[in-house]
């Protein structure tokens, strides 16, 4: 929920629930007056130069429950990957805001084709005759997709069709840069534990903390430590994404970047050279 002019001081802080102590001045109103109890809203906590953005609700007129912490600025350090609730002092204020996390991500143009002519393509297999994607060791694979809703995401699932005894994988989600290439890492789902591909079936990973994913265009990314494992890929799923054709005339359904297996790179990827591929794995977000 959103509300105008809602901003309060607190009388008890810390890293857990906060005790609210009334509007900061006559130009503002209390959170309870603004939206009442048991309604979720985005809050901004300001404590000196430190900031916290999260989702919370009022369990009582003067009790703010911090349900999810999404972004912090603490001592000049910005944390969007795994932010922890700040240890707020009684000098902090709490307000209701429209956070950047709720905004729709614009589509800056065509998805990046490594070569060839740009055009409409399907997110299914190149020949739409198979339904798997073979992982290669140390290749970071990017698959573009349109996220049609704005909601909390707490896990990702892939389906292993061909297992390899020693194979593990890491999965994340990236922004799309202005040039259409993969941009920055938003979240690594496997920051707590890698996905093991030593057996077939569904494999699920949960990040250290759930996060809010606004509607828009993104890239899913996966990398394995060794080759030959197969992940299920989509079939007959036209998404109308602009990735173009490669030099052989095959549709580009994913691109990959040669790197070293490990934690997913968090810096801007848009300056790298990618290699096109005519198949892609499927990812299920929940």
57 within some domain = yes
For residue 238, what pLDDT is reported?
A: 42
What local confidence, expressed as pLDDT, does residue 265 receive?
A: 93
* Confidence band, pLDDT 50/70/90 cuts, at residue 145: confident
The domain tally of the chain equals 2
On whether both 83 and 140 belong to a single domain, the answer is no
pLDDT at 240 over 50: no
Residue 37 CA: distances (Å) to CA of 40, 42, 56, 229, 275: 9, 14, 11, 50, 52
**Pair (141, 47) in one structural domain:** no
Looking at the predicted structure, is the pLDDT value of residue 9 above 60?
yes
The string of pLDDT tens digits covering residues 169-192 is: 999 999 888 778 888 898 899 999
Burial class (CB in 10 A: 0-12, 13-18, 19+), 76: exposed
Whichever domain contains 193, its CATH number is 2.60.120
How far is 133 from 121, CA to CA, in rounded Å?
A: 17
The range of the structural domain enclosing residue 263 comes to: 120-285
Is 113 within a domain? no
- 238 and 98, same structural domain? no
Query: DSSP character for 194?
Result: P
Query: Has residue 163 been placed in a domain?
Result: yes
Where does a domain end: 102, 137, 171?
102
Does one domain contain both 163 and 254?
yes
Task: Choose one of 102, 132, 152: the last residue of a domain.
Answer: 102
**Do 141 and 229 have their domain in common?**
yes
Of residues 215 and 154, the one with the higher pLDDT is 154
In a domain, 142, yes or no: yes
Q: Does pLDDT of 75 surpass 90?
A: yes
* Residue 183 is assigned to a structural domain of this protein: yes
Residues 88 and 163 reside in one and the same domain: no
- What integer pLDDT is reported at residue 129 of this predicted model? 39
Assigned domain for 170 exists: yes
- pLDDT at residue number 34: 94
* Final residue in a domain of this structure, among 38, 67, 102: 102
Which parts of the chain fold into alpha helices (H)? 31-35
Task: Kindly state whether residue 107 falls inside one of the protein's structural domains.
Answer: no
Please enumerate in sequence order all residues whose Cβ is within 8 A of that of 17, keeping only pairs 6 or more positions apart, or say none: 59, 63, 64, 65, 66
Regarding whether 97 and 126 lie in a shared domain, the answer is no
**Structure token pair of residue 14:** 């810390």
Q: Looking at residue 131, what is its pLDDT?
A: 59
- 261 and 178 in a single domain? The answer is yes
pLDDT (tens digit, 9 = 90+) per residue, 47-68? 999 999 998 999 999 999 998 8
pLDDT tens track for 102-139: 665 555 555 555 544 444 333 443 443 345 778 888 89
**75 & 216 share domain:** no
Q: How far apart are CA 281 and CA 265, in angstroms?
A: 20
Please check whether residues 141 and 55 belong to one and the same domain: no
- Please determine, for residue 35, whether its predicted confidence score (pLDDT) is greater than 70: yes
169 and 53 part of one domain: no
Q: Are residues 248 and 125 in the same domain?
A: yes
Residue 38 covered by a domain = yes
Which pTM does this prediction carry? 0.68
The most confident of 49-58, 147-156, 228-237, by mean pLDDT: 49-58
């Amino acid at each position: 929920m959103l509300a105008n002019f809602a901003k309060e001081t607190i009388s008890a802080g810390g890293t857990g629930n906060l005790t609210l102590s009334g509007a900061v001045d006559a130009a503002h109103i209390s959170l309870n007056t603004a939206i009442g109890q048991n309604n979720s809203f985005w809050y901004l906590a300001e404590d000196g130069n430190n900031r916290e953005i999260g989702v919370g609700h009022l369990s009582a007129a003067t009790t703010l429950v911090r349900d999810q912490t999404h972004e912090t600025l603490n001592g000049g350090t910005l944390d969007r990957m795994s932010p922890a609730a700040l240890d707020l002092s009684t000098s902090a204020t709490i307000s209701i805001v429209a956070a950047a996390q709720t905004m729709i991500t614009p589509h800056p143009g065509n998805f990046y084709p490594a070569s060839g002519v740009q055009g409409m393509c399907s997110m299914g297999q190149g020949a739409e005759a198979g339904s798997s994607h073979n992982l290669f060791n140390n290749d970071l694979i990017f698959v573009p997709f349109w996220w049609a809703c704005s909601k909390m995401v707490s896990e990702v699932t892939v389906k292993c069709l061909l297992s390899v005894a020693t194979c593990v994988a890491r999965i994340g989600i990236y922004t799309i840069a202005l040039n259409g290439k993969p941009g920055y890492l938003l979240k690594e789902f496997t920051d707590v534990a890698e996905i093991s591909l030593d057996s077939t079936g569904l494999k699920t990973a949960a990040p250290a903390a759930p996060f809010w994913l606004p509607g828009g265009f993104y890239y899913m990314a996966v990398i394995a430590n060794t080759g030959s494992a197969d992940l299920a890929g989509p079939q007959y799923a036209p998404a109308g994404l602009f990735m173009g054709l490669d030099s052989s005339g095959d549709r580009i359904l994913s691109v990959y970047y040669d790197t070293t297996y490990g934690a997913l790179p968090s810096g801007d990827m848009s300056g790298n050279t990618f290699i096109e591929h005519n198949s892609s794995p499927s990812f299920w977000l929940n």
